[in-house]
């Protein structure tokens, strides 16, 4: 009986994955969009590696990795439009998408690697990029993310 319970518990953990939180981030074509993600750094030993990927967070690592850090600097970058502009050493690993396109819409996974099994901090974020409608100089600058002509 106890081995049955133990096996069910293990399967539940494996197939449900880690607990995730997330956000909805909306933007317009041409804007720089920031997708929030951070972790707590109290001591230098808390600095850790992390990745951003497309699609929901898997059980480990990131699918379709777009950025990877060793905690100190970006070590892998899929495209120069994806950047980490925050202070990595303070745990700000928010993703900035430069000059957003409609194709950037979708689910993004932020995974901060924490030592041990199933300890990683994960969050899934839905990004929606819409075409901008320009109505006058100020509206065009705001909605399209480009300087008014």
Whether residue 103 lies inside any domain: the answer is yes
What is the span of the domain harbouring residue 106?
20-144
In a domain, 56, yes or no: yes
**Which pLDDT band, with edges at 50, 70 and 90, does 108 fall under?**
very high
Q: Does 33 reside within a domain?
A: yes
| Residue 137 domain flag | yes
Is 7 a domain residue?
Answer: no
Residue 84 domain flag: yes
Dihedral of alpha carbons 90, 94, 95, 97, sign: negative
Q: What is the pLDDT of residues 8-48, one digit of tens each?
A: 434 334 444 444 467 999 999 999 999 999 999 999 999 99
Please give the tally of structural domains in the chain: 1
- Please indicate, yes or no, if residue 5 is contained in any of the structural domains: no
Check which CATH number belongs to the domain holding 84 and give it.
Answer: 2.60.40.10
53 membership: H or E segment, kind and range: strand 50-54
Structure tokens at 92: 């700000």
């Amino acid at each position: 009986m106890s081995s049955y319970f133990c096996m069910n518990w293990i399967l539940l953990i494996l197939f449900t994955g880690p607990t995730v939180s997330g956000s909805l981030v909306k933007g317009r074509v041409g804007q720089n969009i920031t997708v929030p993600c951070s972790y707590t750094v109290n001591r230098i030993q808390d600095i850790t590696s992390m990745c951003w990927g497309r699609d929901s967070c898997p059980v480990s690592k990131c699918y379709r990795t777009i950025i990877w850090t060793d905690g100190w600097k970006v070590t892998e970058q899929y495209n120069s439009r994806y950047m980490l502009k925050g202070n990595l050493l303070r745990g700000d690993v928010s993703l900035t998408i430069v000059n957003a396109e409609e194709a950037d819409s979708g689910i993004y996974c932020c995974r901060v690697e924490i030592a041990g099994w199933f300890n990683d901090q994960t969050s899934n974020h839905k990004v929606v990029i819409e075409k901008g409608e320009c109505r006058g100089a100020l509206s065009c600058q705001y909605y399209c993310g480009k300087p008014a002509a």
